[in-house]
Amino acid sequence: MKEYEHLLSVQDLHTAFTTENGEVQAVNGVSFDLDEHKVLGIVGESGSGKSVTAYSVMQILAENGRIAGGRILYKGEDISKWDEKQMSGFRGRNCSIIFQDPMTSLNPVFSVGNQLMEAITLHTNKRGAAARARAVEMLELVGINEPEKRLKQYPFELSGGMRQRVMIAMALACEPDILIADEPTTALDVTIQAQILELMLDIQKKLGMAIIMVTHDLGVIAEMCDEIIVMYGGRVCERGTADEIFYNPKHEYTKGLLHSIPSVTGAREKLQPIEGTPINMLNMPKGCAFCPRCKEAMKICLEQVPEEIMINKDHAAACWINIRDMQAGAAQNSTKTADNNGAPEAAEGNEEVTSNG
């Protein structure tokens, strides 16, 4: 019987970097759960803390970074407390990562076969001919033709799409429970992007691992995620099933993101970029991080960070508009049931602000 609730459970994660200009709180209270065989999308614009969240799980942060708080439970055990030796076992056997640019991850002076077989011998008990056979098998799995020939080739001899397939093969060599893909297709052209995502889903179905898909492009992962978390300024601003996020967005930033991508339904609409610049993590707003760019911002948004509330059982968001609506709904209900003892007080701070700067 399973003795843990989730395969991976990230709880109130805080990750900080020490810089010359001060402490950067890159991840500020992020929580999510990932279950076996599920695909979780982490979406947000550049600098929102997606990669730092992923790197915190694997403990591959830059030297000036540290996990400053929270828990990362893998099968119920808090791995944020593990030492480097334990973590290197975790990275080898339990969790693998694919980076955005395969050229920076593949070593240009070693052949594909050399690198693939090294990954296999490092993380499995296969050696020599068995490791080679496994390398061929992995290349076939990721749809590379003439695998024997490819083993002898060097990364520069392969196309971008093929290099990314090799990276996927390497990441899967140890059959991890969790595969983290950090913008795996951003460096590729659109048709190859679609092929690689399809391949990942196909392999996920065959091997059954869970995937964390990190991307700035909601459109790209629309169809493959069971759940999506949307990040802004190092926090989760909205989470839910892919359908809820797409068809019932409840945070102003998510709505902006959806308006800025071509319609998933194919309808022709003018794309609207989100105005303003991403926040400076060294100078975070006091209230909602999205406030300086939000057209719906209210006075309270400037002052207080909105708490996450459940919209329904599959969906939660951290936006004052939902809190206001919920309070208004509750007030209306209690007015209906009250014995004419006077209306309840209106929720505080709901006046709209005139400036959103």
Ligand X SMILES: Nc1ncnc2c1ncn2[C@@H]1O[C@H](COP(=O)(O)OP(=O)(O)OP(=O)(O)O)[C@@H](O)[C@H]1O
Kindly list the residues in this chain that would bind ligand X in the complex (CB under 6 A). Answer: 17, 19, 24, 26, 44, 46-52, 62, 64-65, 216, 281
Residue 139 vs 236, nearer CB to ligand X: 236
| Kind of pairing between the strands at 39-43 and 227-232 | parallel
Where b means 16+ CB within 10 Å and e means fewer, 194-203 reads: ebbbebbeeb
Q: What's the min distance (Å) between Cβ of 328 and ligand SF4?
A: 14
Helices (H), 208-276: 218-221, 242-247, 252-259
Residue 131 vs 301, nearer CB to ligand SF4: 301
Tokens of 305: 């960070």
User: Binds 26, which of Mg ion, ligand SF4, ligand X, none (CB < 5 to 8 A, cut-off by type)?
Assistant: ligand X
Longest CA pairwise span in the chain (Å): 84
Give the separation between CA 204 and CA 235, rounded to whole angstroms: 28
Residue 90 vs 232, nearer CB to ligand SF4: 232
Give the separation between CA 40 and CA 340, rounded to whole angstroms: 49
Figure out which of the listed residues 7, 72, 294, 311 binds ligand SF4, where binding follows CB under 6 A: 294
Q: What's the min distance (Å) between Cβ of 175 and ligand X?
A: 26
Coil/strand/helix, residue 17: strand
Residue 258 vs 301, nearer CB to ligand SF4: 301
Residue 46 vs 277, nearer CB to ligand X: 46
Q: What's the min distance (Å) between Cβ of 127 and ligand X?
A: 37
Where b means 16+ CB within 10 Å and e means fewer, 270-298 reads: eeeebeeeebebeebbebbbbbbbbeebb
Residue 17 vs 74, nearer CB to ligand X: 17
Q: What's the min distance (Å) between Cβ of 75 and ligand SF4?
A: 35
Binding letters toward ligand SF4, positions 249-268, x by CB under 6 A? --xxx---------------
Figure out which of the listed residues 101, 296, 303, 314 binds ligand SF4, where binding follows CB under 6 A: 296
User: Binds 216, which of ligand SF4, Mg ion, ligand X, none (CB < 5 to 8 A, cut-off by type)?
Assistant: ligand X
Residue 227 vs 252, nearer CB to ligand SF4: 252
Q: What's the min distance (Å) between Cβ of 215 and ligand X?
A: 8
Q: Is residue 73 a contact point for ligand SF4 (CB under 6 A)?
A: no
Tokens of 300: 């309270």
User: Binds 64, which of ligand SF4, Mg ion, ligand X, none (CB < 5 to 8 A, cut-off by type)?
Assistant: ligand X
Instruction: Using CA atoms of 191, 176, 208, 169 in order, give the dihedral in degrees to the nearest 10.
Output: 30
User: Binds 17, which of Mg ion, ligand X, ligand SF4, none (CB < 5 to 8 A, cut-off by type)?
Assistant: ligand X
User: Binds 250, which of Mg ion, ligand SF4, ligand X, none (CB < 5 to 8 A, cut-off by type)?
Assistant: none
Q: What's the min distance (Å) between Cβ of 87 and ligand X?
A: 18
Supply the DSSP symbol for 318.
Answer: -
Figure out which of the listed residues 10, 291, 311, 316 binds ligand SF4, where binding follows CB under 6 A: 291
Binding letters toward Mg ion, positions 20-59, x by CB under 5 A? -------------------------------x--------
Residue 183 vs 252, nearer CB to ligand SF4: 252
Provide the binding-site residues for ligand SF4, judged by CB under 6 A: 251-253, 288, 290-291, 294, 296-298, 301, 306, 319-321
